């Protein structure tokens, strides 16, 4: 029986556990990446482990999220990150060098390697044939210290691509079709593996767009084979020596096979407020558009930017549209400048934003009240843009460009009617390369002093799990609550290394009074419990969505179901992730109820996977379950990974 590509790469990296689907395995990590929004806490945790230097083949610290310098906090954190990188053997990518996923794909990604990143869109690296996984910062810190990364040995779903994309249909439409098929929930513990004759028609940037947004389905990662297309991309980057041919065996066995004919796809959009709300552009066309933002780690490559530039050649931005472009990296910006693309974009009326995450995380370019904003980014969660009542649609660069011209949602194929021919853009045979914004570690790191500004605090410590959890239901939330709902992105992320301050904004989008209630309960000597619906913890790998609740005394989350990365982060910070044995029990609980989870330590120490919960307010009892490995249980009992490691 042949092997899938996923099985082949994992087989060379597994150090613990058995290759049995659904069971936990530990794998060695070859490369890590962090970004400043999550990396600051990751490096504080790494320092707490007292390891003299990183043990990976390569670790890179990127500054791409909070590059807007308002107040001292971001600048202080960036200086901390630069000094920590120098001291511990990490490459530092300065602000302005670009978005971590785009830059890593260009300069460091290697087929067949494992990559762990403190950002949920790390699977972008799967576009180049890596097993690239997003995780919480603490997991990345452990990997940098030489420890394994633990994951559930995955089911592998083959997405068999046939045909070829027609003009005006893009890779973004491919992944939106995948989201339409799989939705944003129910895919935990799976890997998407792309194969079929259609693969060779897709460039590496196309593939990276598809693997990037696989994160929205909740899968562990997504991966493409490494073939001649991959080789040519690496050659253009001056890295042909990093290429290796990788593909699944012809007789590989998959857990599921889904066929997608690229020739049959039409332009699509994810409508508010979820990447899973997919509709055809034809079904929503005509809606007036206030803003168009092109960029993000999903669609900011050379080919994306040049395609938009040539669509807009000799055109002007519609009077009612604010039009922003953000090239994904310094390399992209330099190359489109040299090839005339930037002049075309500026000539059309584009506003040029920094090569950073920017608008995608609500850190700039927040739209006006009730605006319709078309974006080429990967998430359109409620309030993520920085404007709570904005209506954000996720579209391809081609569809975004059409709206720039017409001022409304327009099927880009209709541009032919006004004389716009589709530009068939190809990548350069050789990119202009300039790595001057990377800072490599010094030969003598012992002389480096780590900079700590007033915004830098120690990672908060948790206490071991009590025998009995006595708590208030501090908040009850519905289905598909994202980490952006739990703790906001955007400007508030400047408090990422100041957990007491950041915690004040917990659940700000859903219920701004959560913090006051949680503090009152904590001050009274009780614990806090969060009750949630399906797919709790979607979205970002931001571990602060677990770290800040831990700081506020949350000891358990009881949900109908929860997503992989967030569940792992809860465990890492000593919060018990519980699910309703009977989902109907969710309806009986109300915010403010007093709950008791007796003998929880005994339940976790034993061999079972259930516990009982007493609703003291209602006088009822219900059962909850937990899906935890032996290692997970020990971590929770200790009060989190840092306590457990020590």
Strand bridging mode 149-152 / 14-16: unpaired
**Residue 114 backbone phi and psi in degrees, to 5:** -100, 140
Summarize pLDDT for 235-273 with one digit per residue, the tens.
999 999 999 999 999 999 999 999 999 999 999 999 999
Q: What is the CATH number of domain 469-645?
A: 3.20.19.10
Q: Looking at 132-246, list the stretches that DSSP marks H as alpha helix, in order from N- to C-terminal side.
A: 137-144, 171-182, 204-213, 228-236
> Is there a common fold for 268-416 and 469-645?
no
Q: What is the CATH number of domain 5-264?
A: 3.30.499.10
- CA-CA distance, 468 to 457, in Å (whole number)? 30
Task: Provide the pLDDT for residue 491.
Answer: 78
- CA-CA distance, 148 to 126, in Å (whole number)? 20
Q: Is 547 or 456 the better-scoring residue by pLDDT?
A: 547
- DSSP E strands: which ranges in 85-200? 91-93, 114-117, 131-134, 149-152, 155-162, 190-195
CA Rg value for the chain: 24
Q: Is 175 or 540 the better-scoring residue by pLDDT?
A: 175
Domain ranges of the chain: 5-264, 268-416, 469-645
Whether 507 and 100 have beta carbons less than 8 Å apart is answered as: no
Cα 607 to chain centroid distance, Å, stands at: 34
Closest Cα to residue 42, out of 135, 159, 120? 135
Summarize pLDDT for 479-494 with one digit per residue, the tens.
999 999 999 887 788 8
Summarize pLDDT for 133-167 with one digit per residue, the tens.
999 999 999 999 999 999 999 999 999 999 999 99
Task: Report the predicted TM-score, pTM, of the whole model to 2 decimal places.
Answer: 0.91
- CA-CA distance, 589 to 439, in Å (whole number)? 53
- CA-CA distance, 412 to 389, in Å (whole number)? 27
Q: Is the pLDDT of residue 174 over 80?
A: yes
Q: Is the pLDDT of residue 615 over 80?
A: yes
- CA-CA distance, 85 to 72, in Å (whole number)? 20
Average pLDDT over the chain reads 95
Closest Cα to residue 79, out of 97, 61, 52, 58? 61
Closest Cα to residue 208, out of 133, 311, 121, 283? 121
Compute the C-alpha angle 127/131/137, nearest 5°: 110
Q: Is the pLDDT of residue 194 over 90?
A: yes
Task: Provide the pLDDT for residue 434.
Answer: 97
Q: Is the pLDDT of residue 302 over 80?
A: yes
Residue 189, token pair as written in the block: 């513990």
Looking at the DSSP bridge assignments, the partners of residue 578 are 558
Please report, rounded to a whole number, the percentage of residues in the chain having pLDDT higher than 70: 100
Please report, rounded to a whole number, the percentage of residues in the chain having pLDDT higher than 90: 87
Q: Is the pLDDT of residue 69 over 80?
A: no
Q: What is the CATH number of domain 268-416?
A: 3.30.499.10
Summarize pLDDT for 424-468 with one digit per residue, the tens.
999 999 999 999 999 999 999 989 999 998 888 778 889 999 999
Three-class SS of 105-118: HHHCCCCCCEEEEC
- CA-CA distance, 540 to 389, in Å (whole number)? 21
């Amino acid at each position: 029986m042949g092997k899938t590509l996923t099985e082949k790469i994992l087989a060379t990296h597994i150090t613990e556990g058995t290759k049995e689907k659904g069971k936990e395995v530990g794998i060695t990590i070859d490369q890590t990446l962090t970004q400043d929004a999550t990396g600051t806490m990751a490096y504080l945790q790494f320092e707490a482990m007292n390891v003299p230097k990183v043990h990976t083949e390569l670790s890179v610290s990127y500054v791409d999220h909070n590059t807007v310098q308002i107040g001292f906090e971001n600048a202080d954190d960036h200086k901390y990150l630069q000094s920590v990188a120098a001291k511990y053997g990490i490459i530092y990518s300065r602000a302005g060098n670009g978005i971590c996923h785009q830059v890593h794909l260009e300069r460091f990604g290697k087929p067949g390697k494992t990559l762990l990143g403190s950002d949920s869109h790390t699977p972008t690296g799967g576009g180049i044939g890596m097993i690239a996984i997003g995780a919480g910062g603490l997991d990345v810190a452990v990997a940098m210290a030489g420890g394994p990364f633990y994951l559930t040995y995955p089911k592998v779903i083959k997405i068999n691509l046939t045909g070829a994309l027609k003009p005006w249909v893009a890779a973004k439409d491919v992944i939106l079709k995948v989201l339409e098929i799989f939705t944003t929930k129910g895919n935990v513990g799976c890997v998407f593996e792309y194969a079929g004759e259609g693969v060779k028609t897709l460039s590496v940037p196309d593939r990276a767009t598809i693997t990037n947004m696989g994160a929205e389905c909740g899968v562990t990662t997504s991966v493409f084979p490494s073939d001649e297309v991959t080789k040519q991309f690496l050659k253009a980057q001056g890295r042909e020596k990093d290429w290796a041919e990788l593909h699944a065996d012809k007789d590989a066995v998959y857990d599921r096979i889904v066929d997608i004919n690229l020739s049959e796809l039409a332009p699509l959009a994810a409508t508010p407020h979820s990447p899973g709300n997919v509709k055809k552009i034809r079904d929503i066309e005509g809606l007036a558009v206030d803003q168009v933002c092109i960029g993000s780690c999903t669609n900011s490559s050379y080919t994306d930017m040049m395609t938009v530039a040539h669509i807009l050649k000799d055109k002007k931005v519609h009077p009612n549209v604010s039009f922003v472009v953000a090239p994904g990296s310094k390399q992209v910006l330099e190359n489109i400048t040299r090839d005339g693309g930037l002049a075309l974009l500026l000539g059309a009326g584009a506003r040029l934003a920094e090569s950073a995450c920017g608008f995608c995380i609500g850190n700039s370019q927040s739209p006006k009240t009730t605006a319709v904003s078309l974006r080429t980014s990967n998430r359109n969660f409620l309030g993520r843009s920085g404007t709570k009542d904005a209506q954000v649609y996720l579209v391809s660069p081609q569809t975004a460009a059409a709206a720039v011209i017409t001022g409304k949602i327009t099927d880009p194929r209709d541009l032919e009617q006004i004389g716009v021919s589709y530009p068939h853009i190809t990548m350069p045979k050789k990119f202009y390369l300039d790595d001057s914004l990377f800072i490599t570690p010094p030969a003598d790191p012992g002389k480096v002093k780590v900079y700590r500004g007033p915004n830098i605090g120690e990672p908060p410590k948790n206490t071991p799990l009590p025998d009995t959890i006595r708590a208030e239901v501090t908040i009850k939330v519905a289905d598909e609550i994202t980490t952006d709902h739990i703790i906001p992105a955007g400007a508030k992320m400047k408090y990422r290394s100041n957990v007491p301050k950041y915690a004040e904004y917990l659940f700000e989008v859903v219920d701004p009074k959560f913090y006051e209630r949680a503090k009152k309960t904590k001050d009274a000597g009780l614990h806090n419990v969060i009750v949630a619906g399906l797919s709790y913890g979607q979205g970002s790998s931001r571990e602060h969505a677990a770290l800040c609740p831990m700081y506020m005394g949350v000891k358990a989350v009881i949900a109908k179901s929860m997503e992989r990365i967030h569940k792992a982060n809860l465990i890492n910070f000593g919060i018990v992730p519980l699910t309703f044995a009977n989902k109907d029990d969710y309806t009986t609980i109300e915010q403010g109820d007093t709950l008791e989870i007796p003998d929880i330590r005994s339940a976790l120490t034993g061999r079972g996977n259930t516990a009982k919960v007493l609703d003291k307010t209602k006088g009822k009892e219900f059962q909850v379950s937990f899906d935890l490995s032996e290692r997970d249980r020990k971590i929770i009992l200790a009060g989190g990974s840092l306590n457990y490691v020590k």
